[in-house]
Amino acid sequence: MSFQAPKGTFDWMPPRSEWALIVRDALSAPARRAGYEYIETPAFEDTGLFSRGVGESTDIVSKEMYTFQSRGGQSLTLRPEGTASVVRAVIEHGLYGGALPIKLWYSGSYFRYEKAQAGRYRHFSQVGAEALGAEDPALDAELIVLAADGYASLGLKNVRLLLNSLGCKECRPAYRAALQDFLRGLDLDDATRQRIEINPLRVLDDKRPEVQAQLVNAPLVTDHLCGACKAYHEEVRGLLTSAGLTYTDDPKLVRGLDYYTRTTFEFLHDGLGAQSAVGGGGRYDGLSEMIGGPPLPSVGWALGVDRTVLAMEAEGLLAERARHIDVFAIPLGEEAKRRIFPLVGKLRRAGVSVDMAFGGRGVKGAMKAADRSGARYALILGERDLEAEAVQLKDLASGEQTAVPLAEIVATLKEKLTT
Ligand code: AMP
């Protein structure tokens, strides 16, 4: 009997797996430099957290959650997204009583029972950042700039930014009603008609061409913003421009989670086919109260690690191996192995990355392993070298080989590897 990774999941395998680490690091680095601190929450939560926080009518909650019963009979759900958990933790630990905003970042696995396809998985990985407890357009702009900086630091050139405002609890109801009026007059199927009554904004997100064609003249949220929301949005736009970011206003950008208010944004990459969103986020001023907390106006984003790697691939940025070792040690014989073993440890402690030949496959096999490892140098120790207290240092690119005294090899290699 053999097993395979479940449908919609995949394994990060070397050497490509190194890119997942690099992307995770690069996407979180700008936020860390901006004072965001690390938070780690459980991979599963009380189901109610997501149904209340993310929203009953969203695809995520209605169709995509991995929900199970604990042995004690509690309904638990594998987290489909990160924000609700972070807000839950901030409320539970009373962080809102201290300095605001609370700035947090995280990274981990998320689970959605989606139709599996290229770039859309049932188990995927995100880096997220949230700034809680402040209503300040500069905070929305800061987060957007930090995400853009993350993509740019990876060398990505074709990431586009879409921007919108969804209004607030003052102006959204009137817009919602106007949109419902418009949508009720269209030729739509029953499921979509139901959606008009529960969550009309989500209809704007319908990808089907026959639906999109009917939406051309739909009322736009940006035409219905109250004075405060309009001013807030203009301030965010101005700050982004002042930071040198270009963006496209997209009044139909609603995103698939119910908790968003005011600023919403999405980063797209055009080399990814249908699943073009590499990240997104927005402001969620009401979420804390929705899950039983105090008023806590907040903004955040989640960036997809898997899709960012795919975007890099589409731009040809993965052509080179992300990482390889510097030195491959090859002992010829048992005595040589006993001598080279502590030397390998010493080199590693000196900051050199070193692997060695294991399994006694003979010189030929060992040289092959050295080539495959991507190392710049092979360190070969034979019987005659042992007598001479020396080791052969072979440049694997040029084939050039020199004997170096064992006592000097650490210093020699360190010097060669820094040039
Ligand atoms: P969302 O929480 O849906 O706004 O997702 C934020 C980002 O996570 C998206 O822009 C994607 O890059 C990534 N993402 C979301 N769902 C998936 C999925 N099923 N598979 C891979 N990446 C995903």
At 210-226, the pLDDT tens digits run: 999 999 999 999 999 99
Looking at per-residue pLDDT, the higher value among 418 and 301 belongs to 301
- pLDDT of amino acid 60: 87
The CA-atom distances, in angstroms, between 278 and each of 11, 22, 121, 272, 355 are 20, 16, 13, 9, 36
Distance CA 252, CA 223 (A): 12
Confidence band (pLDDT; 50, 70, 90) for 260? Answer: confident
Ligand 1: which residue has its CA nearest to atom 8?
304
> Is the CB of 123 inside a 6 Å radius of any atom of ligand 1?
no
The CA-atom distances, in angstroms, between 45 and each of 65, 69, 242, 265 are 11, 11, 40, 26
Distance CA 268, CA 277 (A): 4
Mean pLDDT of 11-22: 95
Q: Which of 12, 143, 151, 275 to mutate to test the pocket of ligand 1 (most atoms within 8 A of CB)?
A: 275
Q: Which of 63, 79, 120 to mutate to test the pocket of ligand 1 (most atoms within 8 A of CB)?
A: 120
CA of 229 to the centre of ligand 1 (A): 27
Confidence band (pLDDT; 50, 70, 90) for 59? Answer: confident
Ligand 1 atom index nearest CA of 304: 12
> Is the CB of 120 inside a 6 Å radius of any atom of ligand 1?
yes
Residue 256 pLDDT exceeds 90: no
CA of 136 to the centre of ligand 1 (A): 26
> Is the CB of 126 inside a 6 Å radius of any atom of ligand 1?
yes
- pLDDT of amino acid 53: 86
> In terms of Cα–Cα distance, which of 362, 357, 361 is closest to 373?
357
Mean pLDDT of 53-76: 91
> Is the CB of 280 inside a 6 Å radius of any atom of ligand 1?
yes
| Inter-residue contact 152 to 29 (CB < 8 Å) | no
- Could you tell me where in the chain the CATH 3.30.930.10 domains are found? 16-171+225-314
- pLDDT of amino acid 403: 97
> Is the CB of 128 inside a 6 Å radius of any atom of ligand 1?
no
Give the architecture (CATH level 2) of 327-417: 3-Layer(aba) Sandwich (3.40)
| Inter-residue contact 405 to 339 (CB < 8 Å) | no
- Could you tell me where in the chain the CATH 3.40.50.800 domains are found? 327-417
The CA-atom distances, in angstroms, between 40 and each of 82, 88, 161 are 10, 12, 28
Mean pLDDT of 126-155: 98
The pTM of the full predicted model, rounded to 2 decimals, is 0.93
Ligand 1: which residue has its CA nearest to atom 11?
304
Ligand 1 atom index nearest CA of 277: 10
| Inter-residue contact 415 to 364 (CB < 8 Å) | no
CA of 181 to the centre of ligand 1 (A): 31
Ligand 1 atom index nearest CA of 308: 12
| Cis amide leading into 200 (omega within 30) | no
Residue 376 pLDDT exceeds 80: yes
Ligand 1: which residue has its CA nearest to atom 4?
280
Residue 300 pLDDT exceeds 80: yes
- pLDDT of amino acid 80: 96
Which CATH number does 16-171+225-314 carry? 3.30.930.10
Per the listing, tokens 């740019």 go with 152
- pLDDT of amino acid 361: 75
Give the chain's largest Cα–Cα span. 92
Residue 56 pLDDT exceeds 90: no
Mean pLDDT of 25-45: 98
Phi, psi of 351 (to 5 degrees): 95, 5
Ligand 1: which residue has its CA nearest to atom 16?
120
